[in-house]
Amino acid sequence: MSHGAWVDARNCDRRVLRDMLGSFMTGVTVVAARNDEGRPSALTANSFTSVSLDPPLILVCLAKSSTSLGVFSRAERFSVNILGGWQRDLSAAFASRSPAKDAALETLTQGSPPTVDGSLATIACTQHQVVDAGDHIILIGGVTAFTSKAGEPLGFFRGAYFDFGPAASGDQVLWPIAASRGAAAPENAAG
Ligand SMILES: Cc1cc2nc3c(=O)[nH]c(=O)nc-3n(C[C@H](O)[C@H](O)[C@H](O)COP(=O)(O)O)c2cc1C
């Protein structure tokens, strides 16, 4: 099957470009950190990617229009929480700028970085590098510790959520492991 006509990415409607990029199916994460006064900030992000195993590095791309940008640019620590199928409402809340987001922020764990309890996996990071990239920044984190448990992931494809059917709540913790030997787990680390 041949592909359709080429679209000039530099001159096309941004919506058309965005729709095309949305054909890449992803999982969904919530990225969370604290500001200088200790207040939590968080947003939904599907631009998460693993970068390196040795040393363990991950990245997430944040829009410069995000109100949390300053917090994430400066935060020494942040968490990436990979959402399960049962956390769709939480994803919607953290993607909003509404009272639902304020309520969701209240549910983050205490400690630094704050985390989303009950996620499919939670990754605690220290800031490794911030790279300027067009209308986004690339936030690269050095993984210090993580938790992971059984369950189905939340997915995102062409602007809509999907999951893999009746999702297990993932109560069983499989491997709460410090990423490097002797690494201090975050004070709020689950498990
Ligand atoms: C599924 C999904 C994935 C998203 N991924 C990203 C992302 O990777 N980076 C980003 O900056 N915003 C992303 N967003 C948008 C932000 O979550 C949204 O703009 C949020 O309101 C930003 O919050 P803030 O302005 O309070 O920081 C995504 C939204 C959804 C629903």
pLDDT digits (tens, 9 = 90+) for 52-83: 999 999 999 999 999 999 999 999 999 999 99
Instruction: Render pLDDT for 76-133 as a digit per residue (tens, 0 to 9).
Output: 999 999 999 999 999 999 999 999 999 999 999 999 999 999 999 999 999 999 999 9
Q: Taking Cα atoms as reference points, which of 130, 115, 145 lies closest to residue 32?
A: 115
Which residue, by CA, sits nearest to atom 18 of ligand 1?
95
- Please name which of 180, 75, 178 lies closest in space to residue 128, comparing C-alpha atoms: 75
Mean pLDDT, residues 152-168: 87
DSSP string, 117-161: TT-SEEEEEEEEEEEEETTEEEEEEEEEEEEEBSSPBEEEETTEE
Choosing from 29, 34, 39, 43 the residue with most ligand 1 atoms within 8 A of its CB, the one to mutate for a pocket test is 43
Q: Domains of the chain (ranges plus CATH)?
A: 27-151 (2.30.110.10)
> Residue with the nearest Cα to atom 28 of ligand 1?
45
| Ligand 1 atom index nearest CA of 161 | 1
Q: What's the token pair of residue 61? A: 């791309």
Q: Which tokens go with 34?
A: 């604290």
Q: From the CA of 188, how far away is ligand 1's center (Å)? A: 24
pLDDT at 168: 46
Name the pLDDT band for 2 (thresholds 50, 70, 90).
Answer: confident
Residue 93 · residue 56 · CB < 8 Å: no
- Ligand 1 pocket: which residues have CB below 6 Å? 28, 43-47, 61-63, 66-68, 95-97, 156
Question: Is residue 30 within 8 Å of 83, Cβ to Cβ?
Answer: yes
Q: Determine the Cα–Cα distance for residues 14 and 5; give it in Å rounded to an integer.
A: 17
CA-CA distance, 78 to 98, in Å (whole number)?
A: 22
Contact 151, 86 (CB under 8 A): yes
